[in-house]
Amino acid sequence: MSHVPLSDIPAPCWVTDGQGVLRRYNARLAEWAGLPDPGAQGDVAVTMTDWLTPAGRIFFETHVWPTLRRDGLIVEIFAYWQPGGRRSGAYVSAKRMEHDAEPQYLWLLFAAEDRQAFEQALIQARQRAQSQAEQLQEAHARLRLLNGQLQRQIHQTQAENRTLSELAAHDPLTGLGNRRSLQALSQALASRPAPRRPYAVLMIDIDHFKAINDQHGHARGDAVLAGVAECLRRCARQSDTVVRYGGEEFTLVLPDADVSQALVVAARAHEEIARARPGGLAVTVSIGAAAALSDDADLYEVLQHADEALYAAKSQGRNTTVCHSSSRR
């Protein structure tokens, strides 16, 4: 009750110090005891025992105050009061409140004729509070439900976005990354701490692939693509990345490798593809090799060099590997 403004209490209510001197009161008490309006009150030199009959004062001094000081609480003590000379019976309850270093006491008075009405008002107030609490609980439950649905939707959307990103960066036929996946690889290579070790790139093209499609059909051509992709996986080191660059072209990025190491992998690729016969056909590939020789070399620049070397390999009769001139320093 100490947290409720006195003005909200529908009964005479007041606060005193330990000697019964009024400190605050509400309008109902002002009306009952003939006090100034509480909105205009300054220091009101009133002691609550002034309202008691002589017998009531004795009762308060010998029983009520000792009990209140000892227990901090009294409940529904009946006494005869005579505010303004009017004698009436009323119940009073009080509670000790700690206020700074000096205790204060909150008093609540029930005129006998008002008690039933006040109890009814309390019941109604409790019912309203209970109804509001139930509505609040229902609102919280709905909010938790909606929040749970939102979180599930967010997680689902994030999972779908991850799936879409993975699908967008992968080739469904070969299971390799596609050209889009090179962007992330380029960023990873560029963000390596200095000093950066060199890396190499192989550009691989299936020889006469158009003729394979024309003579054996696109289904056999797809089998050749998938078979070559599997051969390149087997030839690559664990740290290497194999990508279907587009059409019948593949890219193999070899981190921490120079061009001589790349040429070893290229030779292994020629041998593995010849042995495996992808799609059941005698398939050969042409390969261009290039290496990043400087710390700030861009992946796409190295890819361009490897592509130029691949063009040279095609010009030299295919089924061979050519190293870009910039990588022979």
Half-sphere exposure of 16 (CA within 13 A, CB side): 20
Order of strands, sheet of 321-323, starting from the edge strand that comes earlier in the sequence: 241-246, 249-255, 199-206, 285-292, 321-323
**Those residues with Cβ within 8 angstroms of residue 107's Cβ, 6 or more apart along the chain or in another chain:** 13, 14, 15, 16, 48, 92, 93, 94
Amino acid in the structure at residue 298: D
* Peptide bond before residue 195 is cis, with ω within 30 degrees of 0: yes
Amino acid in the structure at residue 291: A
In the residue annotation, 248 being an active-site residue is answered as yes
Active-site residue (options: 119, 248, 272, 301)? 248
For tokens 């005579």, what's the residue? 82
Query: d(Cα 53, Cα 55) in Å, to the nearest integer?
Result: 5
Beta strands in 155-261 (DSSP E): 199-206, 241-246, 249-255
- Please, is 201 exposed, middle or buried when counting C-beta atoms within 10 Å of its C-beta (0-12, 13-18, 19+)? buried
Catalytic residue positions? 248
